[in-house]
Amino acid sequence: MASWDPGQYNRFAEERARPFRELVGRIPTGDAVAVVDLGCGPGTMTATLAERWPDAAILGIDSSPDMIAAAEPLQTPQLRFQLGDAGAWRPPRASVDVIVANASLQWVDDHETLLPAWAAGLDDGGTLAFQVPVAAYDPGFGRVAARPQWAPLLGGALTATGPRSATPVLDAEEYVRLLSAAGLTVDAWQTTYYHVLPGDDPVFEWFKGTGLRPYLDALEPEDAEAFAAEVRAELRILYPREPFGTILPFPRLFVVAHRA
């Protein structure tokens, strides 16, 4: 499995924290006993859930051993972290009050099956809240990967992320239908953040920590270097550096589904 690097991911911590806060800010659940954060990453944002629900047991789950290792020092009797696959996770027999998945479900398949199964485990008053990049979003490196010299080498990586045909992310309407059919009241919205990023090649650096990983991990080190150089050049054209920084427009879809 491709490796995640908590250090690289945290380089843009503030930009990445904002959608999490805005997602959690819309969760209507008052009191909670059990809260789960699926794809919790380095755990920094999971820890904020403990502030919001001080009486709840908070569990962060992530499939990356490096991310869980980064999160472990944050553990308290209230806040625990566990290695695990969100795609295989099902609510425990005792129900769950809040399920959060911020910027992680784009890595997990079969939302049509998964989300109703999670919804079924929500207690009355409970909420399922997730945020994903919109399905149509292509930051630009997909077109480098599709070039004839790279496509044959990248094979599997091309289906893991990037091209629209391969993303597991559904359209907003599909999530509203799916979760309404599961008996939840759904609040869905899309927002484009215009991040202004500092430094050299910041868009490359941003995606090196997330969406580019499957591509880079699929290549031999020498090829990965050459591929990275082409992606850098492409991203410099798509996102030119301006006197104040580099603008990265990032469209995100939010879904907050509540069991009344």
Nearer to ligand SAM, 150 or 204 (CB): 204
**Of the residues 29, 63, 167, 246, which one makes contact with ligand SAM according to CB under 6 A:** 63
**Stretch 112-151: interaction string toward ligand SAM, x if CB under 6 A:** ----------------------------------------
CB of 150 to ligand SAM, least distance (A): 23
CB of 46 to ligand SAM, least distance (A): 8
CB of 74 to ligand SAM, least distance (A): 13
Question: Cα–Cα distances in Å, from 41 out to 71, 196, 256?
Answer: 7, 23, 20
Q: How far apart are CA 173 and CA 165, in angstroms?
A: 17
Amino acid, res. 221: P
Nearest residue by C-beta to ligand SAM? 41
**Of the residues 12, 49, 102, 158, which one makes contact with ligand SAM according to CB under 6 A:** 102
From the list 34-42, 69-77, 199-207, 243-251, the region that binds ligand SAM by CB under 6 A is: 34-42
Does residue 36 touch ligand SAM according to CB under 6 A?
no
Show the tokens assigned to 32.
Answer: 């909670």
Residue among 80, 222, 224, 66 at smallest CA distance from 141: 224
Question: Cα–Cα distances in Å, from 58 out to 111, 158, 194, 217?
Answer: 23, 35, 31, 32
Asked if 97 contacts 122 with a C-beta cutoff of 8 angstroms, the reply is yes
Does residue 40 touch ligand SAM according to CB under 6 A?
yes
From the list 25-33, 39-47, 114-122, 151-159, the region that binds ligand SAM by CB under 6 A is: 39-47
Note the residue count of the chain.
260
Query: Residues with Cβ < 8 Å from 51, sequence gap 6 or more?
Result: none
Radius of gyration of the chain (CA): 18
CB burial readout 171-186, b (16+ within 10 A) else e: ebeebbebbeebebeb
Does residue 103 touch ligand SAM according to CB under 6 A?
yes
Show the tokens assigned to 176.
Answer: 């509203």
**Stretch 204-233: interaction string toward ligand SAM, x if CB under 6 A:** ------x-----------------------
**Residues in the site for ligand SAM, rule: CB under 6 A?**
4, 16, 20, 39-41, 45, 61-64, 67, 85-87, 102-104, 107-108, 210
